[in-house]
Amino acid sequence: MWAHCDQPTAVLQPTEMTLTKPSIVFAHGLWADGSCFSKLIPTLLAEGYDVMASQHGLDSVATDVAAVKACLARVHSPAILVGHSYGGTVITYAGTDARVAGLVYIAALAPDADETSQGLLDKFPTTAVFGHIEVSDGRVWLKGSGVKHFAGDLPEAEQKLVYATQGVPVADLFNQKVEGTAWKSKPSWYVIAEQDQTVHPELQRFVSQRMKAVTTEVTSSHVPMLSKPDAVLEVIRKAATAVSAS
């Protein structure tokens, strides 16, 4: 009977529209895992972008950078890396990869070659969230009392979801580093969270100016991709348009 069947249909390739757009790879930080991009990914997929969100074990900077590069291998090039919080450190290192055309930082760290994440944080006043953490079994947990300092402009139900899905780093993660400072050679965009009580807004302004990023400020807690997703989407679209035109 199989002899009379039609020939197998060719595998559909990505549309021409998709191929003209860069891919988007997200890198999360501490306490908010890859699900924190859930308000961005469906829209970007619907607009024809190839999208992946890296999931980090937060066991070492090197393995988190490797996780991002593994995602780069699963999408077409070129790609834009989007990093939130500590994810900014990750994309700073991973972004030197030749497949990366641009960087978008969301309330993120962006260390220089001679800095660690902790060294960068130490240059600015300690934010409120660090009074609500607990180190247990070598991991740094966000206490329930700290969620308001992390995601205080979200509805209570969403704050509870962020807390329940938190990513928990090893205690020395912020003192680790690997080679690479992508913002020195790749075009960058930065979303500053003006009401951030996790990464100090002045730190965000400092690193965004240092990297000469195209900067957007939003009235937001540390998680603008959840509280102001439309504003963050617009920045990603602008980055994608600029990269496509270059």
Q: What is the pLDDT of residues 167-195, one digit of tens each?
A: 999 999 999 999 999 999 999 999 999 99
pLDDT, tens only, 108-152:
999 999 999 999 999 999 999 999 999 999 999 999 999 999 999
Q: Please name the amino acid found at residue 39.
A: K
pLDDT of residue 173: 98
d(CA 208, CA 179): 20
Query: Helix or strand or coil: residue 122?
Result: coil
Band of the pLDDT at 20, cuts 50, 70, 90?
A: confident
Provide the residue ranges of all domains of the chain, joining segments of one domain with +: 21-245
CATH code reported for the domain at 21-245? 3.40.50.1820
pLDDT, tens only, 76-102:
999 999 999 999 999 999 999 999 999
| Percent of all residues in the chain with a pLDDT value above 90, rounded to a whole number | 91
> Taking the model in full, what pTM does it have?
0.92
Mean pLDDT of 32-51: 97
Assess whether pLDDT exceeds 70 at residue 3: no
Mean pLDDT of 224-237: 98
Assess whether pLDDT exceeds 80 at residue 11: no
Give CA separation, 219 vs 37, 57, 153, 201, 216, in Å: 18, 30, 10, 11, 10
80 sits in which H/E element? strand 79-84
Assess whether pLDDT exceeds 90 at residue 16: no
Average pLDDT across the chain, whole number: 93
Exposure class string for 94-117: b at 16+ Cβ within 10 A, else e: bbbbebbbbbbbbbbbbbeeebbb
Band of the pLDDT at 53, cuts 50, 70, 90?
A: very high
Band of the pLDDT at 19, cuts 50, 70, 90?
A: low
